Structure 1
Amino acid sequence: MWSAGTLAVREKAHRLVALVVALVLLLVLAVPSQSALFSEFTISDEAELGRKFNVMFRARFPLIEDPEIVDYVRDLTGTIVDVMPPIAFPINVHVVRNDSMNAFATAAGYVFVFSGLILNLDNEAELAGVIAHELAHVQQRHIAQSIEHSQIASAGALVGMLAGVFLGSQGKGDAAGGVMLGSMAGAQSAMLSYSREHEREADNIGLTSLVDAGYDPRGMIDAFETIRRRTWMGGGGDIPAYYLTHPGIEERIGYIEQRIARYPEEVRTQHKDSGRFDRVKTLLRARYSDPKIALGYYAHEDEGSMSCLDRLGRAIVLSRLNRIQEAERAFARALACSPGRDPLWLRETGIFYFEYGQRQDKAVSYLQEAVLRNPRDLMALFFYARILAETGKVDEGIAMMQRIEKRLPEDAEIHYYLGRMYGQKNDMFHAYLHLCYARLYKNQKQKFLRRLDGLKTYAQTDGQKKELARLEKTYKEWSQYW
């Protein structure tokens, strides 16, 4: 997931999202449950739906696993969860690599925040406002309530409504958008007022949580204002459907402003630093968005007056554009102003020398220091493990990559390089095993099946046969969403 070539090609078309979600929800929800066609949608029912949705989403759409980004969004989410009323489910947060201005919470506490949302907001309070709203839906179990309520409507209308709530990034004029909007139209008269009640409740609970967590309450208003501005500018095609229709954004801004006005001044003026937000936004722009567009962002500033963070962002973009000499100079200038040799600056400079440079000694030096300064940075560990294996320290490389795999067991790149490392040791069972997982998590069915045939010839011991059985079970669950 983290190599430069892979990052350049894993962009997904927005128009596929709504269609796949609608089809999967149809598959999951069209079958009557044991609870009398959802007359009572239990905690267990919701947990199963959430798990299936999570597997489907991870099988179809690219997630960002960069710990600098994911840990930040999870920490922010945890700050809000800590001040909320009890939630029936553990919260699982993922960051989606997609430039739609979107975030949604699906069944059982699975929260998906799109990179485009962070890139289009201005500060942490705005992002916290959106996440607080989504967490309120989870806390109130609005999805379960909607499913129970939907027994008076058709299955198709229910699927359309849920798909519209989960993901509003329909392509303009495409078939997927037509499927969703058509099915939602039939549900409007029966469900719109109910949805308005849910949205108002989520706004109110979300605003309370935002304030209790110490954020400027106007963060929620400012996020909605950005959505409204994007809509006026013709950018509404990637705005979440519930922001536009459940209820009208003008009405929502109005009643939230009335609530904020009743807060005492010390609450209306409370503030949290957005330093980590700015850091993550820079990394998303530089490493995970279109590099040509990202370079344009930095072109408007004189390099001498750029902040140290912007210098790092520009260096990353130049490296992605293969402007190697310029990138090397830019990394040197960025590193020279790095605050206390920040491990993020060290990591990114080390990755540059590993991917593009001729000086592997520099890559080793920078990545090693990054790992020592921040042992939690799995991305630095990933590249450092690769260097160890490539320089003959295969056992050390495997041990380090296994540490990463325990944290990210469904990452195709990690399994791919683990497979290669085991191949260097001539451990063919584990080489084939991890290469099978790599093909599985890349949704490459035919290549997976060919690797699986090879793996079976090496599965001799009882332990190996158990590992093979686990792989086949994962394939059965994962492949149903291909």
Structure 2
Amino acid sequence: MISLSRRHAKSPAILILIFALTLGQIAAPAQALAGLFGDFTLKDEKELGKKYYTLIKATYPIVEDPEIVRYIKDVVNRVAETLPPQPFPVTTTVVRNNAINAFATPGGYVYVFTGLITEFENEAELAGVIAHELAHVTQRHVAKRIAQQQVTSLGMLAGVLAGMLIGQASGGDSGRAASQALIIGSMAGAQSSMLNYSRIDEREADQVGMNYLLEAGYPPTGMMDGFKKIRRKQYLSGRSIPAYLSTHPAVDERIGYLEDRIAGLSTDIKARTETENRFQRIKTLALARYTDIDGALSTFRTGTGNPALDFMGTGIILSRQNNIPEAAQAFDSALRLAPNDPLILRETGRFHYLQGDVSKAASYLTKAMLLNSDDLMALFFMARLQADKGEINRAVGYYNRILETLPEDPEVHFYLGRTMGRSGNDFDGHLHLAYWGIYSLNKKKAIFHKEKVQALAETEEQKAAFETLTKIFDERDEFWKEMGKGKKK
């Protein structure tokens, strides 16, 4: 679960080309996109959003840590509950990428980059960026520009949308320039003005997003402080400002009118505060697992204000460095300060399991699960412990429980497949190993185990399971084939 070996994302330019070519295969007549709110139907929007979602899943490393995923979903849902009625449910994905970014696409899909967690100081700042992006969706800014530019097919729309959104994801002008060059070169008729939201759109997203932020109960300074922090980090590091701040109106002007609006709010709203304990716990995990080792280690050793979490983060990083003795000492120090913290217990149990100390691992993981029955990471390592002991049925039950919440977690499918295989259930063993291949982006392994599943399918239930597997494989294979073409050029 939560593999740290997922490969790096493709470049934004390659992603745009893949997306444009793939959706170009299902191009619609010009008339189908002519209307702003009419003929560009909800079905078209749903199809476009699902294709983009599959593209992201097929090319970007996705965070599956249930603690992080659940937290981000809770923040997104808290803001989304304030939106006017929407035609699609919100689907949240956490992308492992250090860009300070989030974006939303047609069909109700929201993508949050881990850089937003590691670079911000509190939840209100995170929620401010999410509210801004959701406002672009509710105000139909993408749909408006589709109509204004007279996009003539879903293929062209795919190229334009991918250029705009992945240009944002790259976090800067160079990424946007690469996106723009490829779009213009490969999608005749797509206009460069489509790659950025207009001045009016950005102002509206700021103001409407602020409404959502306030209605969700967050401190009003969240969005403004987030913008300030991004600007300050850009000045200090030389990194480009992400697209939602680099477009017009200028960031200083935007901060200015947000300050003016906040000044006019009632005293009780301006006095709002937010408990940051959960945010800091998630930030500790993200810093320790997904960022530069030296920088994160320096942060924890300097101190973040929570010594127990600092020791836990230090232990995770030292274990990444394979400095096992010092990592063990760090986890022990964390437990001395917070002996009943379920997150620290889980991470300590995880560490000892991976070091082969099954007895210690079982003790810490059991206590973590008793204190937090929803901790799927603890459940995952308990499942592995049970499988090691030969308690197959119990292990399988734990794995299946995790998959109810994280159906695309590659490591869960991998270990469940191995457990099934060792128990003599070859069909289910190869079935889950095929899903492991798909979700870990290993096409060769996916094909190998898929063929085994096909050969072993005898009952109607098994044949139906193979059909479902084939459908999911084919969705990913669209993009894998286009990636292969791109490499040959």
TM-score computed with the length of structure 1 as normaliser: 0.90
Matching of residue 142 in structure 1 with residue 145 in structure 2: no
Shift of 1:63: 1.3
Partner letter of residue 33 of structure 1?
A: A
**Equivalent position to 1:195, from 190, 194, 198:** 198
Matching of residue 163 in structure 1 with residue 176 in structure 2: no
The 1:246–1:153 alpha-carbon spacing in structure 2 relative to 1, beyond 3 Å, is farther
Provide, for residues 26-59 of structure 1, a one-character-per-residue CA deviation record: whole Å limited to 9, x for no partner.
Answer: 5326854357141132222111111111111111
The 1:21–1:126 alpha-carbon spacing in structure 2 relative to 1, beyond 3 Å, is same
The 1:158–1:70 alpha-carbon spacing in structure 2 relative to 1, beyond 3 Å, is closer
Alignment partners' CA distance in 1, 2:20 and 2:214? 34
Partner of 1:16: 11
**Which runs of no fewer than 5 residues in structure 2 stay unpaired?**
481-489
Partner of 2:428: 430
Partner of 1:291: 293
Partner of 1:403: 401
Name which of structure 1's ranges 447-456 and 145-154 shifts more when overlaid on structure 2.
145-154
**Equivalent position to 1:472, from 458, 470, 474:** 470
Shift of 1:121: 0.8
Provide, for residues 56-110 of structure 1, a one-character-per-residue CA deviation record: whole Å limited to 9, x for no partner.
Answer: 1111111112121111111112222222322222111111111111111111111
Partner letter of residue 479 of structure 1?
A: D
Shift of 1:11: 5.1
Alignment partners' CA distance in 2, 1:113 and 1:173? 20
Alignment partners' CA distance in 2, 1:12 and 1:120? 20
Partner of 2:275: 273
Shift of 1:266: 2.2
Matching of residue 227 in structure 1 with residue 230 in structure 2: yes
Alignment partners' CA distance in 2, 1:190 and 1:461? 52
Judge conservation of contact 1:63–1:97 (CA < 8 Å) in 2.
yes
**Equivalent position to 2:258, from 248, 256, 268:** 256
Q: CA RMSD in A?
A: 2.7
Alignment of 1:409-448 (within 5 A): 409-448=407-446
Q: Residue 112 of structure 2: SS of its match in structure 1? A: strand
Shift of 1:294: 1.6
Judge conservation of contact 1:125–1:219 (CA < 8 Å) in 2.
yes
Partner of 1:320: 320
Alignment partners' CA distance in 1, 2:406 and 2:254? 39
Partner of 1:90: 89
Provide, for residues 415-458 of structure 1, a one-character-per-residue CA deviation record: whole Å limited to 9, x for no partner.
Answer: 11111001111111111111111112222222222222222222
Alignment partners' CA distance in 1, 2:30 and 2:12? 30
Judge conservation of contact 2:101–2:115 (CA < 8 Å) in 1.
yes
Alignment partners' CA distance in 2, 1:177 and 1:352? 43
Alignment partners' CA distance in 2, 1:341 and 1:21? 47
Alignment of 1:1-400 (within 5 A): 1-2=1-2, 6-7=3-4, 9-10=5-6, 12-13=8-9, 16-25=11-20, 27-28=22-23, 32-33=27-28, 36-40=31-35, 41-151=40-150, 159-160=159-160, 162-170=162-170, 177-180=177-180, 183=183, 187-188=191-192, 195-233=198-236, 235-237=238-240, 239-301=241-303, 307-338=307-338, 341-356=340-355, 358-400=356-398
Shift of 1:172: 8.1
Alignment partners' CA distance in 1, 2:283 and 2:28? 42
Q: Residue 150 of structure 2: SS of its match in structure 1? A: helix
Partner of 2:483: none
Provide, for residues 443-478 of structure 1, a one-character-per-residue CA deviation record: whole Å limited to 9, x for no partner.
Answer: 222222222222222212222111111111111112
Q: Residue 449 of structure 2: SS of its match in structure 1? A: helix
Alignment partners' CA distance in 2, 1:412 and 1:158? 28
Alignment partners' CA distance in 2, 1:171 and 1:25? 21
Judge conservation of contact 2:303–2:310 (CA < 8 Å) in 1.
no
**Equivalent position to 1:452, from 450, 453, 456:** 450
Q: How many residues align?
A: 471
Q: Residue 58 of structure 1: SS of its match in structure 2? A: helix
Partner letter of residue 245 of structure 2?
A: Y
The 1:275–1:167 alpha-carbon spacing in structure 2 relative to 1, beyond 3 Å, is farther
Alignment partners' CA distance in 2, 1:37 and 1:255? 39
Alignment partners' CA distance in 1, 2:158 and 2:415? 43
Partner letter of residue 187 of structure 1?
A: Q
The 1:88–1:166 alpha-carbon spacing in structure 2 relative to 1, beyond 3 Å, is farther
Q: Residue 93 of structure 2: SS of its match in structure 1? A: strand
Name which of structure 1's ranges 293-302 and 194-203 shifts more when overlaid on structure 2.
293-302
Q: Residue 481 of structure 1: SS of its match in structure 2? A: helix
Provide, for residues 267-314 of structure 1, a one-character-per-residue CA deviation record: whole Å limited to 9, x for no partner.
Answer: 222111111111111110112223333212223359xx9622212111
